[in-house]
Amino acid sequence: MPLEILNAQSRKLVLNVLEYFQNKKETTKENVSAIACAVEALKLSPRTISRIRHEGARDTMVSANRNAPKTRDLSDDVKSQIRSIIYTMTAKKDFITREKLREELKQKHVVDVCTTTLGLILKDLGCRFRKDNGRRALMEQPHIASKRIHFLREYMKNAVSVNSVSAQNWADCIDHTENLIRETWEREQILDCQVSPLVIHLNEDFSSEEDNSFSDTDD
């Protein structure tokens, strides 16, 4: 029997008819094949209908996989936890491998991924494996390491500058600030007392004395 070629719209129609008869079978509990009913309704061969159903299921599976979020699309919190674990293992002089790091992340319930996906995650974090004495070691990329070193230096400089200030220095600084505020407040009050109030008359029918009080003529 020659192979029947159907366009996309016709295949969609076949899938809709199959779905209709399948739902009807589940509703009525009839022991009737959905494919047999579709063959009778569409006048197509069972082989063609079975092939279209198989292709439709496969296309649906591929579409679902493409729409699924990537495992490497992690939140900033998870990325920070991964960095923290890497720095902790480095401080302990542990030789970090993909498998060892993957097990550590899995045990701490941070993320559970395969080694290939972990490699992509590490690349996103600015890390990569390089050969060191014949072994592949995890290292930060140069620009990431430079930024981290700069941050740590600034952090230590600020920490030392704050620690060098004693409690008495803080108290003296507070007293000096309070004195400046009080002196400014007192000076503004004195200026307010020295300035005469300006009276503006809104009523047009005011007395001649008030009118003459602003006169520049000498009587």
**Structural domain contains residue 211:** no
Segment-wise mean pLDDT, segments of 10 residues, the chain, 219 residues:
64 84 79 83 83 70 47 77 89 87 89 86 85 78 84 83 75 86 78 64 57 49
**Structural domain contains residue 44:** yes
CB-based contact 83:104 (threshold 8 Å): no
If one counts the domains in the chain, the total is 3
Residue count (the chain): 219
Closest to 71 measured CA to CA, from 118, 106, 127, 122: 118
β-strands 127-132, 135-140: how paired?
Answer: antiparallel
Query: Given 46, 67, 88, which residue is the final one in a domain?
Result: 67
Q: CA 99, 97, 134, 142 torsion: positive or negative?
A: positive
**Structural domain contains residue 129:** yes
Residue type, 219: D
CB-based contact 128:87 (threshold 8 Å): no
Identify whether residues 43 and 20 lie together within a single domain.
yes
Identify whether residues 114 and 157 lie together within a single domain.
no
CB-based contact 80:111 (threshold 8 Å): no
Look at residue 174 in the predicted model and tell me its pLDDT. 86
The three-point CA angle 76-77-81 to 5° equals 115
Closest to 119 measured CA to CA, from 167, 161, 72, 74: 72
Identify whether residues 57 and 13 lie together within a single domain.
yes
Identify whether residues 131 and 178 lie together within a single domain.
no
Query: Given 67, 86, 103, which residue is the final one in a domain?
Result: 67
**Structural domain contains residue 124:** yes
Q: In angstroms, rounded to a whole number, what is the distance separating the alpha carbons of residues 131 and 135?
A: 5
Identify whether residues 129 and 101 lie together within a single domain.
yes
**Structural domain contains residue 111:** yes
Give the residue numbers spanning the domain of 34: 8-67
Look at residue 63 in the predicted model and tell me its pLDDT. 47
**Structural domain contains residue 214:** no
Query: Given 19, 40, 67, which residue is the final one in a domain?
Result: 67
Identify whether residues 61 and 83 lie together within a single domain.
no
CATH number of the domain where residue 101 is located: 1.10.10
SS3 (DSSP) at 199:
coil
SS3 (DSSP) at 18:
helix
**Structural domain contains residue 197:** no
Residues forming a β-bridge with 139: 128
**Structural domain contains residue 212:** no
Task: Give the CA distances from residue 199 to residues 120, 188, 196, 204, 209, in Å, rounded to whole numbers and listed in that order.
Answer: 78, 21, 9, 14, 14
Look at residue 135 in the predicted model and tell me its pLDDT. 76
